[in-house]
A and B are shown apart, each in its own frame.
Chain A
Amino acid sequence: MKNLRGRTRVLALGTATAIAVAGALVGCSAASGTAGSGSGGNSDRPEGEIHVLVLGDAAASAEEAAAERFNKTSDVKVVIDQGATAGSDYQAAIRNSVGSASAPDVFMSWGAANIQPLLDAGALMPLDDFIKDDPKLKSSFLPSVFNEEVIDGSTYGIPMRGVAPTFLFYNKAVLKAAGLEPATTWDELLSQVDALKAQGVTPLGLAGADKWPTQMWYQYLFAREIGNDKVAAGLAGDGDVWASDGSKTALKKLRDLVGAGGFGENYDSVTYGTDGSAALLRTGKSAYELMGTWHFATIEAGDADFVQNDLGWTAFPSVDGAGKAGEIAGNLSNYYNVAADTRYPDTVRDFLKQLYSDEFLNDQLKLGNLPPTENAASLIEADADLGAVNKDYLSFVVNLVADAPTFQLSWDQAVPAESQTPVQNAMADYLNGTIDADAWISAMQDATAR
């Protein structure tokens, strides 16, 4: 009797502790475990309004202003709902609500791989009829950006935020002190490493702890060595691309750069988020940094004078490879998608026209975003509020994008969500030497296999 009671109590205590341990954690995966009815249906939706779920960051203000303008003349009103600030939370909310009456009519996405599961679920409306009604919904935008969410010949998203290619930023004063000009070829860049190290400077700043900045180096070396078309094929599941000679050459070049001390010794401790790598560049502790368009605003927030005087930018150096000159990589844009069961498709179509209106695009410029539109260059030229340096900068980005034969979406966003972490890990692990080239190749083959 006593024994039995003892055992029961042991078990009860044990499981109670264990469940307390795991309960909270399970909660977060179970919260989304209950499946809804699945068929929202037009008439369940609120009457006289459409809902737009926006990512709740600083750039949302332009979208709110667009809704305000639109509502002045529309009977069916656009309601802007502020969503999560973090992309992953935002996407979880979309996934959990599509198909229900409370789902937004319009929401934002990051590219084709990002919307594919929603498309498979029948949750997205093809926008081809919208474009037939108003061709400017397509013709206003840069084709390289617009085509990202054209899937099997149908358009599912309209670009709505800034274009963000990556390129090299540099500290003019640091290069000058070392007697160097910004590198235009890979060999030049490699040869500058020693000179910069001799100055006590990290040649190439890298926020390795965050992994996605590491990825940018792969994106460009592969674009130069094998070309973005091959890269796109590899990301779409052609495993031979990763095992090709060009791929191996790119990998070797990267390791050579690491071995030469190009990134310094402690790049894996450097973050982007807490003003890590940006501070390195603006305080003269690093000479170059490969980063996206937004880096300008990040550095400006830390030291506006530096941006006015000593911040330089240049295209990624050329490499002797099979890639075409001027191929670029980075984040294309974000896109507005439309729920398949929206109650007022005509209102949605008319609201989307805001995305190419001058007011909306000027608001984007004010936020430091480069609009993904054909008229971006003339808008920048005409904008009286922009300073000379900002204009130079935005014009450089416009030309970089306009002259690019291809624009490869960041690899971790070009693969399905479940492959995102493996892709990032493979790149961080190869760069710091945890895995070798063969392991990297098979990791990429696994992550991109369909």
Chain B
Amino acid sequence: MIRSASRGPDRSKRGGLQHAGRPGFAWSLPAVAFFTFFALLPLAVAIYLSFTKYNGIRLVPPRFVGIDNWSRLLTDDALHRSIGVTIILIVLAVATQLPVSLLIGVWAAGPQRMRAIVVALYFIPLLMSTAAVAVLWASLADPNFGVPAALNGILGPNNAFSNLLGKPATALGLIVFIYLWGASPLHTLIYQGGARAIPEVLYQAASVDGAGRVRQFFSITLPQLRNTMVTSTILMIVGTFTTFDLILILTRGGPSGGTSNLPFFMYDRGVTALDFGYGSVVAVVLIVLATVVSIVMVRATRYDEMQGTQEGL
């Protein structure tokens, strides 16, 4: 009622103006060509290679071996563990990054100058290269010269921190923590933007109705941030799916394969072992898994519909 007069031209349920000045197919040619050459074509080659034996020597072209590589899928325990590690990493990454960046993002959206300064400091990890970060954390986690050595004085020798990279659980935990430290500032930024876009009038109305801060957070902020949350979560999942550099430098998949996720496993089998056939099988598995996860996410979150959160305002 209050704002109905200011509503713009009629929008369909899908949001956005339908067909307003939308260009023809020709406009998308550059993007389509790029996508074809750098995504679809390599994908096709990977699928082809997955049915061949190829050890990287050009003089001996890939030899077709049928489903030999694929038949290893079911029996390769290392691959299965690797899929498990990938899923655990994703679950832990989302479970830690989402609440932290949501809360800090909403807090940072406030107008106070002090908050801006704190947040600026908080964003520093965003500016660092992952390779540098991995080397830095490797030094920090060193049991004899890093942080664990300092903790020995407080917690006694052989405490939970003294063998961080030597046990699968703690090594995974450390990786999740480094993700949280390195990636959550980006998501905080996204939530901060989202929270600032929530109309002040909603909070004013809630205050008048007697809602406290907690109630306002759950009844206004969270629902209003729904689309932001979906976007940010998809970025988190996709980012964690492809994590490679950190694992290569920090743990090289160890200890005993405990941190070998699918991208690292693919590198290990394909590039290190020079078995491009099986490496391509792992790559295709990665694609299929990522596709399934993407479709489920898009379905579950109705990302494709993306209804506005401010209808009726």
* A33 near B276: Cβ-Cβ < 8 Å: yes
* A209 near B287: Cβ-Cβ < 8 Å: no
Asked whether B303 is an interface residue with its Cβ less than 8 Å from the other chain, the reply is yes
Residues in A neighbouring B148, C-beta threshold 8 A: 266, 269
Asked whether B121 is an interface residue with its Cβ less than 8 Å from the other chain, the reply is no
* Inter-chain contact total with CB atoms closer than 8 Å: 222
Contact of B295 among A11, A267, A269 (CB under 8 A): A11
Residues in A neighbouring B199, C-beta threshold 8 A: none
Asked whether A301 is an interface residue with its Cβ less than 8 Å from the other chain, the reply is no
A22 and B45 alpha carbons, distance in the complex (Å)? 13
Asked whether A395 is an interface residue with its Cβ less than 8 Å from the other chain, the reply is no
* A276 near B142: Cβ-Cβ < 8 Å: yes
B56 to chain A minimum Cβ distance, whole angstroms, is 4
The proximity string for A residues 252-290 relative to B, scoring 1 for CB distances below 8 Å and 0 otherwise, is 000000000000011111110010100110000100000
Nearest B-chain residue to A92, judged by Cβ? B56
B308 to chain A minimum Cβ distance, whole angstroms, is 17
Asked whether A23 is an interface residue with its Cβ less than 8 Å from the other chain, the reply is yes
Asked whether A143 is an interface residue with its Cβ less than 8 Å from the other chain, the reply is no
* A209 near B279: Cβ-Cβ < 8 Å: no
Chain B CB within 10 Å, residue with most, of A15, A29, A268: A29
A329 to chain B minimum Cβ distance, whole angstroms, is 22
Asked whether B274 is an interface residue with its Cβ less than 8 Å from the other chain, the reply is yes
What 10 A-B pairs are tightest by C-beta distance, nearest first? A268-B166, A18-B291, A14-B295, A35-B61, A18-B290, A266-B163, A17-B294, A22-B287, A30-B45, A14-B294
Residues in A neighbouring B35, C-beta threshold 8 A: 19
Residues in A neighbouring B48, C-beta threshold 8 A: 33
Residues in B neighbouring A100, C-beta threshold 8 A: 58
Residues in B neighbouring A428, C-beta threshold 8 A: 254-256
Asked whether B138 is an interface residue with its Cβ less than 8 Å from the other chain, the reply is yes
* B295 near A418: Cβ-Cβ < 8 Å: no
A126 and B135 alpha carbons, distance in the complex (Å)? 43
Residues in A neighbouring B213, C-beta threshold 8 A: none
Asked whether A95 is an interface residue with its Cβ less than 8 Å from the other chain, the reply is yes
The proximity string for A residues 112-148 relative to B, scoring 1 for CB distances below 8 Å and 0 otherwise, is 0000011011110000000000000000000000000
A96 and B57 alpha carbons, distance in the complex (Å)? 5
Asked whether A42 is an interface residue with its Cβ less than 8 Å from the other chain, the reply is no
Nearest B-chain residue to A28, judged by Cβ? B271
The proximity string for B residues 135-170 relative to A, scoring 1 for CB distances below 8 Å and 0 otherwise, is 100110111110010000000001000111111000
Asked whether A26 is an interface residue with its Cβ less than 8 Å from the other chain, the reply is yes
Residues in B neighbouring A210, C-beta threshold 8 A: 252
The proximity string for B residues 76-104 relative to A, scoring 1 for CB distances below 8 Å and 0 otherwise, is 00000000000000000000000000000
* A270 near B287: Cβ-Cβ < 8 Å: no
Known: A25-B283, A26-B43. 9 other contacts (CB 8 A): A17-B294, A17-B298, A21-B294, A29-B46, A33-B48, A98-B58, A99-B59, A268-B166, A428-B256
**Given A29-B283, A265-B158, also A421-B58 (CB < 8 A):** no
Nearest B-chain residue to A428, judged by Cβ? B256
The proximity string for A residues 36-53 relative to B, scoring 1 for CB distances below 8 Å and 0 otherwise, is 101000000000000000
B180 to chain A minimum Cβ distance, whole angstroms, is 20
* B256 near A429: Cβ-Cβ < 8 Å: yes
Label chain B's interface by main secondary structure.
helix
Residues in A neighbouring B204, C-beta threshold 8 A: none
Interface residue tally on B, bucketed by range: 35 or more
The proximity string for B residues 43-64 relative to A, scoring 1 for CB distances below 8 Å and 0 otherwise, is 1011011000011111111100
Asked whether B234 is an interface residue with its Cβ less than 8 Å from the other chain, the reply is yes
* A88 near B271: Cβ-Cβ < 8 Å: yes
* A10 near B291: Cβ-Cβ < 8 Å: no
B268 to chain A minimum Cβ distance, whole angstroms, is 6
A446 to chain B minimum Cβ distance, whole angstroms, is 12
* A23 near B62: Cβ-Cβ < 8 Å: no
Contact of A35 among B58, B138, B166 (CB under 8 A): B58
Residues in B neighbouring A276, C-beta threshold 8 A: 142, 144-145
Residues in B neighbouring A378, C-beta threshold 8 A: none
Asked whether B299 is an interface residue with its Cβ less than 8 Å from the other chain, the reply is yes
**Given A276-B144, A421-B268, A432-B166, also A23-B43 (CB < 8 A):** yes
* B251 near A19: Cβ-Cβ < 8 Å: no
Asked whether B200 is an interface residue with its Cβ less than 8 Å from the other chain, the reply is no
Contact of A432 among B141, B162, B256, B274 (CB under 8 A): B256
A123 and B274 alpha carbons, distance in the complex (Å)? 17
Interface residue tally on A, bucketed by range: 35 or more
B150 to chain A minimum Cβ distance, whole angstroms, is 14
* A26 near B42: Cβ-Cβ < 8 Å: yes
Asked whether A97 is an interface residue with its Cβ less than 8 Å from the other chain, the reply is yes
Residues in B neighbouring A269, C-beta threshold 8 A: 141-143, 148, 162-166
A434 and B254 alpha carbons, distance in the complex (Å)? 12
Interface residues in B264-289 (C-beta closer than 8 Å to A): 266-276, 279-280, 283, 286-288
Asked whether A357 is an interface residue with its Cβ less than 8 Å from the other chain, the reply is no
The proximity string for B residues 21-44 relative to A, scoring 1 for CB distances below 8 Å and 0 otherwise, is 000000000000001001111110
**Given A19-B39, A38-B59, A117-B55, also A266-B274 (CB < 8 A):** no
What are 23 pairs between A and B in contact, CB < 8 Å?
A6-B305, A9-B304, A13-B298, A17-B234, A17-B298, A19-B39, A29-B270, A29-B283, A30-B42, A30-B45, A30-B46, A33-B62, A92-B271, A117-B274, A121-B60, A122-B59, A208-B166, A266-B148, A268-B255, A276-B144, A276-B145, A418-B55, A418-B273
B55 to chain A minimum Cβ distance, whole angstroms, is 6
A160 and B224 alpha carbons, distance in the complex (Å)? 68
A269 and B252 alpha carbons, distance in the complex (Å)? 12
A304 to chain B minimum Cβ distance, whole angstroms, is 19
Nearest A-chain residue to B60, judged by Cβ? A121
**Given A17-B294, A30-B42, also A268-B163 (CB < 8 A):** yes
* A95 near B55: Cβ-Cβ < 8 Å: yes
B2 to chain A minimum Cβ distance, whole angstroms, is 32
* A118 near B57: Cβ-Cβ < 8 Å: yes
Nearest A-chain residue to B52, judged by Cβ? A33
Asked whether A244 is an interface residue with its Cβ less than 8 Å from the other chain, the reply is no
A429 and B257 alpha carbons, distance in the complex (Å)? 9
Asked whether A153 is an interface residue with its Cβ less than 8 Å from the other chain, the reply is no
A77 and B160 alpha carbons, distance in the complex (Å)? 61
**Given A24-B242, A98-B59, A267-B166, also A18-B276 (CB < 8 A):** no
Asked whether A32 is an interface residue with its Cβ less than 8 Å from the other chain, the reply is yes
A154 and B190 alpha carbons, distance in the complex (Å)? 65
A38 and B62 alpha carbons, distance in the complex (Å)? 12
Interface residues in A277-317 (C-beta closer than 8 Å to B): 279-280, 285
Asked whether A211 is an interface residue with its Cβ less than 8 Å from the other chain, the reply is yes
Asked whether B194 is an interface residue with its Cβ less than 8 Å from the other chain, the reply is no
